[in-house]
Chain A
């Protein structure tokens, strides 16, 4: 029988203030990418810290590849990028990664090569001889990623791995994670970024107030249809009701929409040259179908895009009507 990469049974940590996480039971298979989503203070970092041996559980048990958490055997399997990442600022980037390599018992003959490789991989090769105190937050996060990867771990725990990075940095981190996944590494990703989890993870769990509300495949947990936005010209309210009748979908219209902020206000749209339509669709085939219907009615289609849903909004929707134990 294959041993799970990560297995927890009723893992709990209760702090003096009553917070923490309660009775978390999950299994992550080898080579799987697992996303852990939740709002601030949900207990995500507490859970990861228990798995990497930084805090002791109040109750429950957990193992990494069959090794009890906190043991040296379990620790030798992991790479960890903490949420609060700070490194010895009096060392150079290269020295920090080398220190982590030596502590992780990387063979001394290959340390130099391995350190150089990971520093290149995370994009700080050229500045690896600078002292850490001269690094920006994003650079330090890249350095943290290099430290997490230097020992070529079987399981990588990443707590908000791109929180301090610019869009280019985020995209690079996604590529690195994708590459790790392709190499068969097990990835445990704590994130606020729904996009990252959707893009990388096979399965995920939603944590709130220290309790797992849902877990399963990403589509199961997200349990939602995608919203799409269509920028059209030649719109009239009549056309909206025609489209709704024809497709059976609920379609909203607005004059303007800030897509990232989700300020779609449907009541505002009247006869106008250009408006935005929003519809929840099951598949990309439906997008094509709606496109053709829009154009069939003589409207001009300027742009089609998937609406970015912010985690906060998704949480409001996902958690609405649930009590703190996740029961309706």
Chain B
């Protein structure tokens, strides 16, 4: 299994997936630095003239929240696409090329190959998620303020990074079923649907729709979130990071400044449990399908 995991890392490095991702991330972080620098000045007069300490803190915290929301909005996209595109052809692509046909007659149980590949993708993805998370937090801290609660950091990081195992698992499951190209399309559409569902939900709240329309939209977006829970997990992540319950209205996160990224309708703890169960079931199903697959 360790051999397969090492091979996966080597593949990601040799195919320059990680190098390109890191290069593009660097460009994003540079742009993010300037965005954060501009937004960090919002509502704070030059020389902080006429502002009390608490007012300044609240202004900085509000700005920090806006910056973090923007940063993680992009960050979750990059992370999701890295997870999808690194693994969507893991089985189908290698089987179509004939690479698997040479490897699997070796005395290696199929579950070990599958787990080795899965762990390889996951560990790289989690490493990248940590890097991105820390960079976004540090840049925001430099230009505004961030919540200083290590528990909130850990919880929110785990929720942010949960996109990696979730998407890699579903992607590998699809790869055992569909062709490589078909699975790429399937995964992009599935993730896109999940993202769109979350967007519709946020939008419907921010524009204040009638209760009837709201209910039917909620049912639809609920089903979409169950099919692809990644977007819901990202919303939960921001809520944990900002510790919404504790803020107690000190900072208004429903203001127009947040627009479609408002914090109404945060998924519950049960939804997080559902997300974990979803990943475990998808993993076991993928393992079962791969174990029986004719190559």
A49 touches B295 (CB 8 A): yes
A99 to B: closest C-beta gap in Å = 6
Choose one: A54, A88, A90, A99; the contact of B105 (CB below 8 Å). Answer: A54
A147 touches B294 (CB 8 A): no
Cβ of A144 within 8 Å of any chain B Cβ, yes or no, is yes
Once A56-B292, A86-B97 are accepted as A-B contacts, the answer to whether A75 and B15 lie under 8 Å apart by CB is no
Cβ of A72 within 8 Å of any chain B Cβ, yes or no, is yes
A82 touches B107 (CB 8 A): no
In whole angstroms, how far apart are the Cα atoms of A91 and B11 in the complex?
A: 8
Cβ of A76 within 8 Å of any chain B Cβ, yes or no, is yes
Cβ of A158 within 8 Å of any chain B Cβ, yes or no, is no
B26 to A: closest C-beta gap in Å = 23
Choose one: A84, A99, A147; the contact of B98 (CB below 8 Å). Answer: A84
In whole angstroms, how far apart are the Cα atoms of A147 and B101 in the complex?
A: 12
B108 touches A82 (CB 8 A): no
In whole angstroms, how far apart are the Cα atoms of A88 and B11 in the complex?
A: 9
B98 touches A86 (CB 8 A): yes
Complex contacts, A81 vs chain B, CB 8 Å: 102
In whole angstroms, how far apart are the Cα atoms of A56 and B292 in the complex?
A: 8
Cβ of A100 within 8 Å of any chain B Cβ, yes or no, is yes
Cβ of B245 within 8 Å of any chain A Cβ, yes or no, is no
The bracket for how many chain A residues form the interface is: 20 to 34
B97 touches A52 (CB 8 A): no
B7 touches A88 (CB 8 A): yes
Task: Name which residue of chain B comes closest to A84, CB basis.
Answer: B98
B75 to A: closest C-beta gap in Å = 28
In whole angstroms, how far apart are the Cα atoms of A266 and B123 in the complex?
A: 72
Interface flags for B265-286 (1: CB within 8 Å of A; 0: not) read: 0000000000000000000000
A104 touches B107 (CB 8 A): yes
B132 to A: closest C-beta gap in Å = 25
B106 touches A100 (CB 8 A): yes
Cβ of A314 within 8 Å of any chain B Cβ, yes or no, is no
In whole angstroms, how far apart are the Cα atoms of A84 and B102 in the complex?
A: 9
In whole angstroms, how far apart are the Cα atoms of A88 and B89 in the complex?
A: 14
B120 to A: closest C-beta gap in Å = 13
Complex contacts, A80 vs chain B, CB 8 Å: 102, 105
Cβ of B99 within 8 Å of any chain A Cβ, yes or no, is yes
A52 touches B11 (CB 8 A): no
Interface flags for A65-88 (1: CB within 8 Å of B; 0: not) read: 000000011011010111011111
Cβ of A105 within 8 Å of any chain B Cβ, yes or no, is yes
Choose one: B98, B105, B109; the contact of A52 (CB below 8 Å). Answer: B105
B22 to A: closest C-beta gap in Å = 18
In whole angstroms, how far apart are the Cα atoms of A88 and B90 in the complex?
A: 12
Complex contacts, B98 vs chain A, CB 8 Å: 82, 84-86
Once A99-B3, A99-B7 are accepted as A-B contacts, the answer to whether A104 and B97 lie under 8 Å apart by CB is no
Show the binding face of A for B, using Cβ within 8 Å. Answer: 49, 52-56, 72-73, 75-76, 78, 80-82, 84-88, 90-91, 99-100, 102-105, 144, 147
Could you list 24 A-B pairs, sorted by A, with CB under 8 Å? A49-B101, A52-B105, A53-B104, A53-B105, A54-B101, A54-B295, A55-B295, A72-B109, A75-B105, A75-B108, A78-B105, A80-B102, A80-B105, A82-B102, A84-B98, A84-B101, A85-B101, A86-B102, A87-B102, A88-B99, A90-B11, A99-B7, A103-B103, A103-B108
Show the binding face of B for A, using Cβ within 8 Å. Answer: 3, 7, 10-11, 14-15, 97-99, 101-109, 292, 294-295
Known A99-B7, A100-B103, A104-B107; 20 more pairs at CB < 8 Å = A49-B101, A54-B101, A54-B105, A56-B294, A72-B107, A75-B106, A75-B107, A82-B98, A82-B101, A84-B101, A85-B98, A86-B102, A88-B11, A90-B10, A90-B11, A102-B3, A103-B103, A103-B107, A103-B108, A144-B102
